[in-house]
């Protein structure tokens, strides 16, 4: 059975755990439609990004 030779310090333990946090998706309310939209992403329904049209309608 493997047994640690030295005690793991608080610093090393916390450095290892630094990557275990859950990331939160950043959602905001769209000013025009009022729907939740991810920040820094193009709205695929309307084709708008930062208040301007970047994707043309396919209709």
Greater model confidence, 6 or 59: 6
Q: How many domains does the chain have?
A: 1
Is the residue at 50 inside a domain? yes
Is the residue at 7 inside a domain? no
Is the residue at 17 inside a domain? no
Looking at residue 51, its pLDDT comes to 82
Per-residue exposure over 12-28, b if at least 16 CB sit within 10 Å of its own CB, e if not: eeeeeeeeeeeeeeeee
Predicted confidence (pLDDT) at residue 2 exceeds the cutoff of 70: yes
Is the residue at 19 inside a domain? no
CB contact at 8 A, 12 and 1: no
Looking at residue 3, its pLDDT comes to 95
Is the residue at 11 inside a domain? no
Residue 49 lies in domain: 24-59
Is the residue at 52 inside a domain? yes
Please write the tens of the pLDDT for every residue from 3-53.
Answer: 999 999 999 999 999 999 898 888 988 887 788 888 888 888 888 888 888
Q: How confident is the model at residue 58 (pLDDT cuts 50, 70, 90)?
A: low
């Amino acid at each position: 059975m493997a047994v640690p030779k030295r005690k793991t310090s608080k610093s090393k333990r916390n450095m290892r755990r630094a990557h275990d946090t859950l990331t939160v998706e950043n959602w905001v309310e769209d000013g025009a439609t009022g729907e939740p939209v991810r920040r820094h992403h193009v709205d695929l329904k309307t084709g708008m990004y930062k208040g301007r049209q970047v994707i043309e309608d396919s209709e």
